[in-house]
């Protein structure tokens, strides 16, 4: 069974096999990297998700730095990371998933069609005056 021939999309090439298809190996731990690519388009935040899955998750090989795994996964899709930030981790069954937010350069429109793109509403709420809180009290 060839992983390449079983890909659900002709646009996905060169990515590692899905976690469900990886055999057990001492080279892999029960951990995964989830990447949430976002970009700006038309002055709005655009969230990109693979057309074949709810989120973009890749295996985390043992001894590999998680940020390098995430950067490589983003690059293999043809996106260019500007900022990569580890946002959280969670336990899902027996594995731990480390999530990264990847701010990427705006891709071409034809590229966005390969992903399920959705605009996300962002509301910025002031959190008080950091400068005032950090200033020493007036004497």
Over residues 43-94, the pLDDT tens digits come to 788 888 887 788 888 888 878 899 999 999 999 888 899 999 999 999 888 7
How sure is the predictor about 24, in pLDDT bands with cuts at 50, 70 and 90? low
Instruction: Tell me, yes or no, whether 138 lies in a domain.
Output: no
pLDDT at 2: 39
pTM passes above 0.85: no
Is residue 73 in a domain? yes
Share of the chain above pLDDT 70, in %: 60
> Terminal CA-to-CA distance of the chain, rounded, Å?
76
Number of domains in the chain: 1
In a domain, 62, yes or no: yes
d(CA 39, CA 49): 12
Whether residue 76 is contained in a domain is answered as yes
Q: What average pLDDT does the structure give for the chain?
A: 74
Q: What is the structure's pLDDT at 110? A: 65
Cβ-contact 98, 33 below 8 angstroms: yes
Residue 70 sits in which domain range? 49-123
pLDDT at position 86: 92
Answer yes or no: is 118 within a domain.
yes
Domain-located, residue 115: yes
- Whether 2 is in a domain gets the answer no
What is the CB neighbour count within 10 angstroms for residue 98?
19
19: in domain: no
């Amino acid at each position: 069974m060839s992983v390449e021939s079983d890909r659900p999309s002709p646009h996905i090439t060169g990515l590692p096999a899905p976690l469900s298809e990886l055999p057990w190996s001492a080279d892999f731990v029960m951990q995964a990297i989830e990447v949430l690519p976002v970009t700006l388009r038309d002055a709005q935040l655009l969230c990109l998700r693979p057309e074949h899955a709810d989120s973009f998750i890749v295996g985390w090989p043992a001894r590999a730095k998680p940020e390098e795994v995430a950067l490589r996964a983003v690059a293999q899709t043809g996106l260019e990371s500007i900022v990569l930030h580890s946002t959280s981790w969670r336990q899902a069954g027996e594995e731990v998933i480390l999530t990264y937010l990847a701010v990427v350069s705006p891709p071409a429109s034809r590229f966005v069609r390969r992903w399920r793109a959705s605009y996300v509403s962002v509301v910025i709420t002031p959190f008080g005056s950091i400068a005032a809180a950090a200033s020493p009290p007036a004497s």
